[in-house]
Structure 1
Amino acid sequence: MKKILSLFVSLIAFSALIVFTQFGNTQNQAPAAPVSEATQACLDCHSTVSPGLVQDWLSSRHSKTTPQQALKKPKLERRITAESFPANFESVAVGCYECHGQNPDLHKDNFEHFGYKINVIVSPNDCQTCHPTEFQQYTNSKKAFALDNLRKNSIFHTLVETTTSVKEVKDSKIMQLNSSHFAKNETCYGCHGTEVRVSGMRTVQTDVGEIQVPVLTDWPNQGVGRINPDGSKGACTACHPRHSFSIEIARKPYTCSQCHLEPDVPAYNVYMESKHGNIFASKEKEWNWEAVPWKVGVDFRAPTCAACHNSLIVSPDGEVIAERTHDFGDRLWVRIFGLIYAHPQPKSPETYLIKNKDGLPLPTTFSGEPATEHLLSIEEQKTHQDKMRRVCQSCHSSSWVNGHFEKLDSTIVETNQMTLAATKLVQKAWDKKWADPSNPFDEAIEQKWVAQWLFYANSVRYAAAMSGPDYAAFKNGWWELTNNLQEMSDWLKMQEKKK
């Protein structure tokens, strides 16, 4: 027994030594690629001041590869799209200063910091030094305009204000106060983005003396449509969090789940219930998350969000199935969430500019008539859908894929019909003066109408698009669509009895 105990203690000690050694090596890790003098100055200080950030960067590809080395890879294997770089960039790691020292004249958040001019926020415009194609694709996508599409759309601005404002009760009536920017920033703008401004400077006491740093409003934020102090739109860190900027993190559905979560956008929930999600949950540790290009059936065996929507996908023999894109609408032909009715994808990413037949900034009227001139044509929809079909057919037969999309088409029609039925009921309440349409989101029957399309119809459509049957049936699906409609009808009958 003593021998066994002694052996057990020895094993624990040996394991602890290994862990300590590995941890120590991580702490003393140096960049694998040469660093610039400016970046070394940053590392010398911040390895003590903010060691977590430095260690994260040391784990990144940025610390291990110079742009010059990256350019030597075959084109299909590159993670960069620039063909040339500034001379001072070529032969050093993509370090602190190479990112935070970009375009100082454009950055209102730039400040003098121990002899260097530093930007607080690294923007997509800065990232385009190495990733110009990705920058252009993203800049022309709906994600880049996510903030403006919310706050500059009078209908959805009202929805945000109604939802996030503090309420008071006076004489048994609910009174809506103004929504604070903090409330909006931690809710809708947390995903859509904020507009970050510089309001002044503040003094910070440090071990090396006082330093002056910019004061940023509506910060921190990593929303996809963030407006940065240099005027650019977006946040690469929404998907590639700093400071590892990992392609693995961006490819995994956990990252998308930060915003694409039930009840309004149940993409992650449906995915994890689906057969694709089953396979991912069981086998993800066996997959190659770093490979570029990404070989279907070799590097991964079931699609994730990235595989379907934006990754560079190739066959095992290297044939391109889908080009890499940072316009997340490139493989989408129909918009199934967030609006009253599902409809063809918009032509312009600035959806707040859309005007429907009733003069509202919506892609359809309240009765479902599409603003056709602002939406993709049938031919354009087919082009987008064909890109998605190629991804599907890299695993599935054409009969499987055709059946899947036929089912989705039917679901879109049927859920739109269920929304129209609810709209007719709320319209009756407005016509009878039982509810006030000046704010279509703040009364009981109006909020049930919103739930019909924002939660339940969305859920059914996502379930059809991504094969999650329970979300089509009972989990915010057809049961709720039907039950909610009945409750709206019952509410109207109660109002009629009161009269």
Structure 2
Amino acid sequence: MKRCYCLLVLLTAVGWAVESPAASISAATEECLACHVEATPGVVADWERSRHAQMTTGEALAVQGLARKVSAANVPEALAEVAVGCAECHALNAGDQPGTFEHNGYEVHTVVSPKDCRTCHVEEADQFQQNLMAYAHGNLVNNSLYGQLTLAVNGTQSFDGQALNAAPENEQTAADSCLACHGTRIEVKGTVVRETDLGEMTFPVLSGWPNRGVGRVNPDGSLGSCAACHARHQFSIEVARKPHTCSQCHRGPDVPAAKIYQVSKHGNLYESLSARWDFSAVPWTLGKDFTAPTCAACHVSLLVTDGEQVVASRTHRMNDRLPWRIFGVIYAHPHPESADTTVLRNSAGLPLATELTGEPVKEGLISADEMDRRRRALHQVCLGCHGAAWVEGHWVRFENTLAETNAMTLAATGIMTTAWEKGLAQGPGSGGNPFDEAVEKAWVEQWLFYGNSVRFSSAMMGADYGVFDNGRWYQSKTVREMKDWLDSRSK
């Protein structure tokens, strides 16, 4: 098929150095490019640089062994001889997509979902649908307890002369805060006519859009957004493998992984040496393509030795190498069996994986054997660079930290439940929001900020983040202040 030369001329004129598609493109995609090179030149330039533009689907399917990047056994015949372009993503499954609309003679849809990506990436899409990240929207908004927490955070406060009142967060506030990462629910609300350079055109009106949250609920019912990690429209392996991508959602005090990684020895090596690493190689070879782990190396990527012995298999179920759940929860505990954590209940009926006294619930969490399997899978990654004594010693220290942070949370929770029992604060037993009073906010910080910081610091050897920067100092300080508050109020 012919090349869209107007595309290349324009991009060269505006100063973008791009690669011409090395693969044939479909007539439909060529028509898309002819208009969008002017309407959205940045999108077109990004796609030009992508692997999708550089080879046909058939060529990708022909790759054998560990270097294969697609997991489908076959694809629709119409796709085999062309590159994956605009039409192959935005029109392929248009008949199954709510919000499909007529656009210049084609039936297209705006939201590209994991169901679309699954055409070529079957295993990855299926694994992601079993992932805690995929359920991030529902695990937040369908958990009544977390709903009270988001109200305490996002509810607009007003003062009536005597009391503070919190109005429920509106849809835009939710999408701009927690759901930016957890994912919105995207729904088709109708259509709107807009004036364009090509005249009037009709477009769907989407609520919850734009969003690229990991647990986004798409109009077709699928969960998640592949673009959360593989940023559109280049969908680069390199981008997904670099820690900057994970840091979009894993940097704040509630999940401080990125900033702790940055000051760790691994982060030091990444910052110092990564310009010489190959982030696009598949499989990813330890010691050759990179010499210190990134987030993806530990949790996602297919890793091999120089002799192509598999160290870790590729996975898009992000907890496959994680026995413990350490953030976003009151106490560290074994990972849930189901990615839908709203099914969990403790003995008090609260939607939690632990009792308020710290014990894990009796049903719904992975077994000790499964924890050991995941621990060993992660150990294999560590053993690619470290000796067994180092790895085992590090793990003993980490699990000691989990026990200590849980103990410090228990102390704070004991004070908090005493305050609720005495009527000094309005907790869940009295129908109050357990997160909105000053002492309750201190309690939340104890586990959501300080406990998390200590755990992540121990996991990644981030040193000071486990001591003075939202670490053990603040855990001990918070318990003391809560106890003094309780003594004062009790009098």
TM over 0.5: yes
Describe the superposition over 1:385-440 as per-residue Cα deviations: whole angstroms up to 9, x where unpaired: 11100000000000000000000110000100000000011111111111000210
- Using the alignment, how far apart are the partners of 2:12 and 2:263 within structure 1? 37
State which of 301, 306, 309 in structure 2 corresponds to 1:316: 306
Q: Write the letter of the residue equivalent to 2:237.
A: I
State which of 200, 224, 241 in structure 1 corresponds to 2:231: 241
Q: Structure 1 residues 369-378 or 419-428, which shifts more?
A: 369-378
Structure 1 residues 33 and 25: alpha-carbon distance in aligned structure 2, compared to 1, 3 A threshold: farther
Indicate yes or no: 2:457 matched with 1:467.
Answer: no
Asked whether the 8 Å contact 2:11–2:45 carries over to 1, the reply is no
Q: Write the letter of the residue equivalent to 1:179.
A: E
Indicate yes or no: 2:281 matched with 1:291.
Answer: yes
Asked whether the 8 Å contact 2:180–2:212 carries over to 1, the reply is yes
Indicate yes or no: 2:447 matched with 1:453.
Answer: yes
- What's the offset of the Cα at 1:70? 1.0
- What's the offset of the Cα at 1:32? 1.4
Structure 1 residues 24 and 155: alpha-carbon distance in aligned structure 2, compared to 1, 3 A threshold: closer
- Using the alignment, how far apart are the partners of 2:465 and 2:13 within structure 1? 44
Secondary structure (helix, strand or coil) at the match of 1:430 reads: helix
The equivalent residue for 2:434 is: 440
Secondary structure (helix, strand or coil) at the match of 2:363 reads: helix
Unaligned ranges ≥5, structure 2:
1-9
Asked whether the 8 Å contact 1:199–1:215 carries over to 2, the reply is yes
Identity of aligned residues (%): 46
State which of 272, 285, 293 in structure 2 corresponds to 1:303: 293
The equivalent residue for 1:105 is: 95
- Using the alignment, how far apart are the partners of 1:39 and 1:30 within structure 2? 14
- Using the alignment, how far apart are the partners of 1:481 and 1:271 within structure 2? 21
- What's the offset of the Cα at 1:26? 4.1
The equivalent residue for 2:340 is: 350
Q: List aligned pairs for 1:104-183, cutoff 5 A.
A: 104-183=94-173
The equivalent residue for 2:262 is: 272
Asked whether the 8 Å contact 1:264–1:455 carries over to 2, the reply is yes
Asked whether the 8 Å contact 1:456–1:476 carries over to 2, the reply is yes
Secondary structure (helix, strand or coil) at the match of 1:346 reads: coil
The equivalent residue for 1:404 is: 394
Asked whether the 8 Å contact 1:249–1:255 carries over to 2, the reply is yes
- What's the offset of the Cα at 1:369? 1.7
- What's the offset of the Cα at 1:496? 2.4
State which of 474, 479, 486 in structure 2 corresponds to 1:492: 486
- What's the offset of the Cα at 1:27? 6.4
Describe the superposition over 1:197-242 as per-residue Cα deviations: whole angstroms up to 9, x where unpaired: 0100000111211110000001100000001111110000000111
Q: Write the letter of the residue equivalent to 1:314.
A: V
Query: What is the RMSD of the two structures over their aligned residues, measured on CA atoms?
Result: 1.3
Q: Structure 1 residues 297-306 or 95-104, which shifts more?
A: 95-104
Indicate yes or no: 2:194 matched with 1:204.
Answer: yes
Number of aligned residue pairs: 478
Structure 1 residues 31 and 426: alpha-carbon distance in aligned structure 2, compared to 1, 3 A threshold: same
Secondary structure (helix, strand or coil) at the match of 2:301 reads: coil
Secondary structure (helix, strand or coil) at the match of 1:482 reads: helix
Unaligned ranges ≥5, structure 1:
1-19
Q: Write the letter of the residue equivalent to 1:445.
A: V
- Using the alignment, how far apart are the partners of 2:190 and 2:312 within structure 1? 46
- Using the alignment, how far apart are the partners of 2:262 and 2:233 within structure 1? 27
Secondary structure (helix, strand or coil) at the match of 2:476 reads: helix
The equivalent residue for 2:206 is: 216
Structure 1 residues 496 and 299: alpha-carbon distance in aligned structure 2, compared to 1, 3 A threshold: same
- What's the offset of the Cα at 1:272? 0.5
Q: Structure 1 residues 247-256 or 486-495, which shifts more?
A: 486-495
Q: Structure 1 residues 417-426 or 362-371, which shifts more?
A: 362-371
Asked whether the 8 Å contact 1:194–1:221 carries over to 2, the reply is yes
State which of 29, 35, 47 in structure 2 corresponds to 1:45: 35
- Using the alignment, how far apart are the partners of 1:214 and 1:22 within structure 2? 33
Q: Write the letter of the residue equivalent to 2:296.
A: A
- Using the alignment, how far apart are the partners of 1:307 and 1:159 within structure 2? 33
Q: Structure 1 residues 20-29 or 205-214, which shifts more?
A: 20-29
Q: Structure 1 residues 76-85 or 130-139, which shifts more?
A: 76-85
Asked whether the 8 Å contact 2:18–2:48 carries over to 1, the reply is no
- Using the alignment, how far apart are the partners of 2:208 and 2:448 within structure 1? 27
The equivalent residue for 1:4 is: none
- What's the offset of the Cα at 1:52? 0.4
TM-score scaled by length of structure 2? 0.96
Secondary structure (helix, strand or coil) at the match of 1:88 reads: helix
Secondary structure (helix, strand or coil) at the match of 2:370 reads: helix
Secondary structure (helix, strand or coil) at the match of 2:52 reads: coil
Asked whether the 8 Å contact 1:66–1:93 carries over to 2, the reply is yes
- Using the alignment, how far apart are the partners of 2:257 and 2:434 within structure 1? 26
Asked whether the 8 Å contact 1:102–1:119 carries over to 2, the reply is no
- What's the offset of the Cα at 1:74? 2.1
Asked whether the 8 Å contact 1:142–1:349 carries over to 2, the reply is yes
